[in-house]
Amino acid sequence: MRRAFNYAVSFLFLLGACSNKKEQSRAVISDITFSLYASGAIKSKDQYTVLSTVPGIIKQIHIEPGALVKTGDLLFTLENREATLNADNARQVLDFSASNSRKNSDRLQEAVSQVEASKEKYQNDSAIYFRQKKLWEQNIGTRLDFDQRHLAFATSKINYDASVSRLSQLKNQLENDVELSKINYQIAKKRQGDFSIKSEIEGKVFDVIKNKGELVGPQTALCIIGKPDQFYLEMNVDENDITSVIMDQEVVITMDSYKGKLFRGRVSKIFPIMDGRSRTFRVEATFSDPPATLYPNLTAEANIIVKVKKNAILIPRSFLDKDNQIWLEDGTKRKVVTGVQDERNVEILKGLTTQEIIYKPE
**pLDDT tens profile 48-77:** 999 998 888 999 999 999 999 999 999 999
Model confidence at 25: pLDDT above 70 = yes
pLDDT score for 184: 80
Amino acid at 310: K
pLDDT score for 19: 37
Output DSSP code: residue 10. -
pLDDT score for 175: 79
Band of residue 206 on the pLDDT scale cut at 50, 70, 90:
very high
DSSP for 181-209, please give it: HHHHHHHHHHHHHTTEEE-SSSEEEEEE-
Yes or no: say if 203 and 227 are a contact pair by the CB < 8 Å rule.
Answer: yes
pLDDT score for 8: 36
Selected residue with higher pLDDT from 166 and 51: 51
Output DSSP code: residue 331. S
Model confidence at 11: pLDDT above 80 = no
Fold of 2-45+230-359: Elongation Factor Tu (Ef-tu); domain 3 (2.40.30)
Helices (H), the chain: 81-101, 106-137, 143-193
pLDDT digits (tens, 9 = 90+) for 209-235: 999 999 999 999 999 999 998 999 999
Model confidence at 158: pLDDT above 70 = yes
pLDDT score for 285: 97
First CA to last CA across the chain, in angstroms? Answer: 29
Q: What is the mean pLDDT of the chain?
A: 86
CATH code of the domain made up of 48-80+195-226? 2.40.50.100
pLDDT score for 9: 38
- What's the per-residue H, E or C state across 242-258? HHHCCCCCEEEEEECCE
Average pLDDT over residues 147-161: 89
Yes or no: say if 224 and 207 are a contact pair by the CB < 8 Å rule.
Answer: yes
pLDDT score for 2: 52
Using DSSP's 3-state secondary structure scheme, residue 285 falls into strand
Band of residue 166 on the pLDDT scale cut at 50, 70, 90:
confident
Yes or no: say if 111 and 235 are a contact pair by the CB < 8 Å rule.
Answer: no
pLDDT digits (tens, 9 = 90+) for 299-333: 999 999 988 888 989 999 899 998 889 999 888 99
- Dihedrals phi, psi of 278, to nearest 5 degrees: -90, -15
Q: Give me the percent of the chain exceeding a pLDDT of 70.
A: 89
pLDDT score for 104: 65
Rounded Cα distance between 116 and 93, Å, is 30
Q: Measured between alpha carbons, how far is residue 187 from residues 7, 54, 146, 246 in Å?
A: 61, 14, 61, 46
Model confidence at 201: pLDDT above 90 = yes
pLDDT score for 131: 86
Yes or no: say if 285 and 251 are a contact pair by the CB < 8 Å rule.
Answer: yes
Yes or no: say if 4 and 341 are a contact pair by the CB < 8 Å rule.
Answer: yes
Helix axes 106-137, 81-101, angle to 10 degrees: 30
Question: What is the chain's length?
Answer: 362
Yes or no: say if 70 and 42 are a contact pair by the CB < 8 Å rule.
Answer: no
pLDDT score for 136: 81
pLDDT score for 69: 96
pLDDT digits (tens, 9 = 90+) for 109-153: 788 888 889 898 889 888 888 888 888 888 888 888 888 888 988
Cα radius of gyration rounded to whole Å, the chain: 43
pLDDT score for 100: 63
pLDDT digits (tens, 9 = 90+) for 238-286: 999 999 999 999 999 999 999 989 999 999 999 999 999 999 999 999 9
